[in-house]
Structure 1
Amino acid sequence: MSDPTPYDLTTGAGLIACPSCDALHVEEELEPGETARCIRCNAILARPRAGAFSRIIALSFTSLVLIVGAIFFPFLEISRMGIGNATSLFGVALAFSQGWLMPLTVAVLVLIVALPALRAVLLVYTLLPLAMGRAPGTMPSPPCACPRRCGRGRWPRSLSSEPRSRWSRSRDWPASALARPSGRSAR
């Protein structure tokens, strides 16, 4: 462990409490592979989690598969004296899709299906580059597909993060190419 950081007893900043015995410890930076333990009961306070990104990414993909299963496979079945009926989540939502109950259908589908699916997709989008050692949202560009093999990726030039002049931006957008920077017409 390295040099201890300053702590504040009034706010608790810089302190960590043992989850087993409530002993207070000064929060310190851990070296790679080092584990922080309680001095009183030897419980683990902090440790590196190898493969944590991979587990979260795998669980996100698993939740997407389970969401699809929850939508289309029956989860409610009623049977009495040989006569039965089964319905899925999608069937329940569509049962209320006529008339003034349409907002209920939209709310059910958004809250039960769309938000968890969006959360899983955004977790993968954020953590996959981190697991590969890059910053979030920076996936490698695919190779250029143009016949000239110019070396640029397939992404539109307007989405790249390099600064460009006003003239190069106006070349990319036909509507803005009609007016030059000086205000004169292009023709």
Structure 2
Amino acid sequence: MSDTPPIPCTDLIVCPKCDAAYSLQVPPAGQRAVCDRCGQVLIDTRHKAGLQIIAVSVTVVILIIAAAIFPFLSIQAGGARNSVSILDSALAFSDGPLIALALLTAALILFVPLARMMLAIYVLTPIVLDRPPARGAALAFRWSEALRPWSMAEIFVIGCAVALVKITDLAQVELGPAFWMFAALVILVVAQDRIMCRWSVWNSLDEEPAT
């Protein structure tokens, strides 16, 4: 039986992708700690990453609200012309028995990404300002991470691209300002996920005051 004392959990870091465990060593600023087994980034000490994430999150919130209001695309066929917004298209079947599906679609492409950005702003703003974490910040960040697989804005864009290829043979299609806003916010959401170092956030939230 080994006499080596067990390593405290606080001195370990576990890869979220392959569950490999490592002794915790925070890399110098500007460098990364990467899992040797699967290549997953474990710690990313990017300079001013929190401020960048907040800026991206605020931009995405503005784009989501604007994209839900402005026309997404216009279709003209047989002398008739119609413009729809993203919210109109998501709730197209809300008057019938598919209302649950319509509401779920709207949630996945609009409200879930919006909620994630708002939660990120709530969690990171006090940290960036060198203040104690906000009340309930750990729970808020946990919810943000739990919602991440359900944020399907990029899936909506891919589906629209496939549909537009087929529609162009039948009607004249013009892309509205909301289309470009939505395309931009999808890129920003992906960028935010790549910038965020989740270990750094959880480490900062260890100082959260008791509720």
Query: TM-score scaled to structure 1, two decimals?
Result: 0.50
Q: Which structure has the highest helix share of the two?
A: 2
Higher-Rg structure is: 1
